[in-house]
Amino acid sequence: MRTARALVGAALVGALVFLGAEATARRVAPTPDPSSYDAPRNPYFLRAWPEYTAPRPPRPADEERIVVLTNSQGYLRERADGRETWPARLEEFLRARGRNAQVLNWAVPGASGAELALLAARAVEHRPEVVLVVSYSENFGPFWRRKEISFARSDVPELAYLPEVRRRLPASFLRSVDAYEPLGWLQAHLTLMDLRSRLFEWRERWTFVPVEPKRPPERKLVLHEARNFALLADLLHPLARARPRPRVLLVAMPLNPEGFEDLAPAAAFAAACRTWAERADWITARDATHLFPADVYYGPRHFRPEAHRAFAEWLLPDVERLLDER
């Protein structure tokens, strides 16, 4: 009995020490500004802006909000200024036309469809008028629906352990991406664990640092064959149930015509987007795969700044129409 008392006593003291450390971590952890384009990036996890894990800010009554779910194409790692990205340009154009619009750029380099589905479930909290999904077959292939969410290199998987996000997603999705990892739960709920990457990365790495632009690829890339885009259904699931329901613009993203061996898988994704648009009147689909010539790209997928501007211009009429339709 004396031993049991000692063990329980020591465990309680240990728990107090740990909780004290966690409370301190919560106090010192920075809170990112959700509307900022120069919020620090976490290079270790290759995540985009961290606003999707931040508390939802109060929203002015007359503001129109657009959430962008995309991959590295919306991230522009080659430049130091997030204001050159096409979501930022889109916001600039909308404001220039007299709209009080805010575009939240949730671009995640290397994002899988599973991560975008989690972000879509999170986006509902922001009550957006429009959700803009710009992606291609590689992000939505069946591989990502079978792979554990903990495999993802961003910190988006943390969202899978927040109750408000989980309840908006289909149970089959949570099962197939194995969103039942205790370590994932801890990662999502302990600020101490979030602070880790800041400790191991020097301060300068937490700011915008441009990366060397990719040269044109020596060999053309091969896209994985993908016919089943079930992850697209998972992504649309929370948006379909949201009230008020946002308009959704599904865009098959522009790709360098000289960067790939065969664009048939990308075309299959564009066709899947069209099918969804035919099924639901709140969804619009556009195919931008062949929108630009090769010389506006850094590599097979990333735009040069001028193409970011051009892409925002291309999107503008559709986005405005969707905003007006509501």
Partner 1 sequence: MLFNSFVFAAFAPLAFAGHFLLRGAARRWWLVVASWVFYGWANPWYVLLLWTSTILDFFVGQRLGATDDPRRRRLWITASLVGNLGLLAVFKYTGFFARAGNDLMAALGLDWSLPVPELVLPVGISFYTFQTLSYSIDVYRRQLEPERDFSTFALYVAFFPQLVAGPIERATHLVHQLRRERRHLARPEALDGLGRVFWGLTKKVVFADWFSVYVEQVFSNVHQATPLELFLGINAFAFQIYLDFSAYSDIAIGLGRLLGVELMENFRWPYLARNIAEFWHRWHISLSTWLRDYLYIPLGGSRRGRWKTVRNVLIVMFLGGLWHGANYTYVVWGLWIGAALALHRLWSETLGKTVERRVPAPVRVPLAVLATYVTMLAAWVFFRAPDLGSALDYFAGFGGDWADVTGLDTPDARRTMAFLAVAVLAHLARGLGWVRRPTAHWPTWAHGVFWGLLVTAMALLHAPVGEKFIYFQF
Site residues, partner 1 (CB under 8 A): 2-3, 6-7, 9-18, 21-22, 25, 44, 181-183, 186, 190, 192-193, 195-197, 199-202, 205
Report the nearest approach of partner 1 to the CB of residue 301 (Å): 25
Query: Residue 163 or residue 202: which is nearer to partner 1 going by CB?
Result: 202
Burial class (CB in 10 A: 0-12, 13-18, 19+), 23: exposed
Contact residues for 75 (Cβ-Cβ < 8 A; gap 6+): 48, 85, 107, 108, 109
Query: Residue 193 or residue 277: which is nearer to partner 1 going by CB?
Result: 193
Query: Residue 190 or residue 267: which is nearer to partner 1 going by CB?
Result: 190
Report the nearest approach of partner 1 to the CB of residue 19 (Å): 9
Burial class (CB in 10 A: 0-12, 13-18, 19+), 204: exposed
Supply φ then ψ for residue 187, to 5 degrees: -60, -40
Report the nearest approach of partner 1 to the CB of residue 165 (Å): 21
Query: Residue 14 or residue 60: which is nearer to partner 1 going by CB?
Result: 14
Asked if 86 contacts 311 with a C-beta cutoff of 8 angstroms, the reply is yes
- Measured CA to CA, the distance from residue 128 to residue 118 in angstroms comes to 15
Query: Residue 25 or residue 54: which is nearer to partner 1 going by CB?
Result: 25
Query: Residue 196 or residue 326: which is nearer to partner 1 going by CB?
Result: 196
* Sheet containing 130-135: order of strands: 101-107, 64-70, 130-135, 247-252, 283-287
Report the nearest approach of partner 1 to the CB of residue 24 (Å): 10
Report the nearest approach of partner 1 to the CB of residue 197 (Å): 8
Report the nearest approach of partner 1 to the CB of residue 285 (Å): 37
Q: Where are the alpha helices (DSSP H) in the chain?
A: 2-28, 86-96, 113-123, 137-140, 142-146, 163-166, 171-176, 182-189, 191-200, 230-241, 264-279, 305-325
Q: Which residue has the tokens 């099924």?
A: 279
